Structure 1
Amino acid sequence: MFHISDRMTDTTVASLLEGRDAAGAGVLANVRFGTYGAGPTLAGGAVELPIHMTHGRQHEFTETWSAAQAVTTGRYEELVYAHDDERLFCAGYIPASGGYARDAERAYSHIFELTDQLGFPDLFRMWNYLGSINDPNESGMETYRDFCVGRAEAFAFHGKDMPAATGAGSLGDGLSFYLLSGRMGSATHIENPHQVPAYRYPVRYGPKAPSFARATYLAQAGGNGESQRLFISGTASIIGHETQHVGDVEAQCYVALSNIDQLISAANLERHDVRIKRDDLRFDAVKVYVRRSTDIPLVASRCARYFDDRETSIAYLNVDICRSDLLVEIEAIASVRAQQGYTVE
């Protein structure tokens, strides 16, 4: 379903036309983390989304989301999408402005309209990358908090469950976002007992709380290993709702990894009616967001101890994070070890 490549090479599928079914399986999307950003396009029968997330070409990489069956692509309002019979990939871009609340509400409302119309109502993973994420907008509100207002209002109006998500800074302007959604009943959203659910944060973090779950478990038809994955949200040094160890990146990294450990423990998964043992999970892909470039070697050493780098592809991004006092944030995708055919390159 997904792999990371450390080369910015094009992945294309021949003979796919916008709005038409492909003759066979292919690629849903390529998300290119590099030195420039732009709105999503359709190329070679897949969504292409470049996001400005690296300071040099040597750090660029591409996420490729593959399809299990024939691919259909199209556009809806400001969104570009691709789907097979099992899952939908959708992406969009909002240009920089003095405030994001209204545009974010509109974009998320279009997302919910599209997922419902196409028959993929269960969102299971979302990513949002905002330029100047910790800076004030024209009314003095922090950019991330302003964005959270619009996102929360769209979720409330449409009555949608909140999936795993990441909200991090980008090096470019505007808001780049993408998501994955599945068929009805495919997603189970998971919380961490050591953390207040983000959507219940007190008003001190903004007029509307962030709209996401700590993780989402995806099980598709058949229930075998290949169809079971755990999407872990951007996880940081937060206990309850408060940041821990302000200024200490090593301690923050320890708390973030401990939060992941608690989140995916067998006891916590069973609370959510997900019966998977911790040892059954394999980390396939991890992205780590680090505020200070000088902290990357230390964070990388701590992550190498936690994640098995023989099985796990890890990318480090030197960008800002949703709270100005957070220094590191870690997200991951895990699968059941028994599955076959899911590769990370």
Structure 2
Amino acid sequence: MRIKQPYPVQLVQPDGRRVFDPVHAALVADVGPRELRALYTDLVVTRRIDVEATALQRQGQLGLWPPLLGQEAAQVGSAHALKPDDYVFGSYRETAVAYCRGVPPEQLTALWRGVAHHCWDPDEVNMTNANIVVGSQALHATGYAYAAQLDGAEIATIAYFGDGATSQGDIAEALGFASAWTAPVVFFCQNNQWAISEPVSVQSRGPLVQRADGYGMPGVQVDGNDVLAVMAVTRQALERARTGGGPTFIEAITYRMGPHTTADDPTRYRVAAEMELWGRRDPIDRVRALLEREGLYDEGFAEEVAAVADDVARRVRSATINAPDPEPMSMFDHVYATDHSLVAAERAQFADYLAEGGTP
């Protein structure tokens, strides 16, 4: 059932030239000059958010940050394929998806600063917060999708995860259940080549997209640094899910240009030549080259995009630095949806500690 293409789906080459692929190009035929410029703007802005947050962590303002540098096209392209009612289940790196879903920049760093259990209200944007338990979001996406299907809702869910997560049992269970029950879910694997310090070759002897064959669902491999190609294949998979066709597995071939998190040192396990190779495939440079080729990039537009990026970066920095410390007792709020005896006991114990002059 896998889509048999000789290479990953690609609509724009690294030098900005379009690829002749009428089947996939038709899926993004509505992306004209304005939409293409909007995609470029989101790519630039989300990279700026990432660079700003990384700098904030290095300056001691965040405890940790998971960079997405190099993966912007995979996230922006797929996010633009979603409809408002679709529900997103991310891992911990989908900052660009969150921004495209409408999460205010001021809310992107609260969890990573340690002042809240979460960053945003999931129901306001139909996207979960960062999920640290690797792979479990695929189960959540499958369960939500199956329940929505039973309720007659014509929506789809999408689960984002990395190549390393494909070795987790949670992913295998989600794929099996989704296929057996025709759940309207898209499994979106961002194969960024490295699961912390382990290369993807350790996760699988063959292409990860071949996992789809074993579960009886379509699989498609796409150039994850090509925002239009990603948008096209994600639209196709989401529409299939919404119309009763069941799940799809997408493998977006991309590259993590930065560390796994700011606690990681990739120079200990990666070589400079690999970085140089993938640097020439930069997703933002690619769209800029396309815009230039089609007469859509000029100094005025560049200044507009830079102004938006500067403003968003300012908002992220200001909100992070000025984030108020939470009330100590609030750490027990929203742990469970209903009262829980263990949490109640811990709350009482901590209240007694504070009453006796203990330091939070």
Does TM-score exceed 0.5, indicating one fold? no
Which structure has the larger Rg? 2
Structure whose residues are more often helix by fraction: 2
TM-score by length of 2: 0.30
Structure with the larger strand share: 1
Structure scoring higher RCO (CA < 8 A, sep ≥ 6) equals: 2
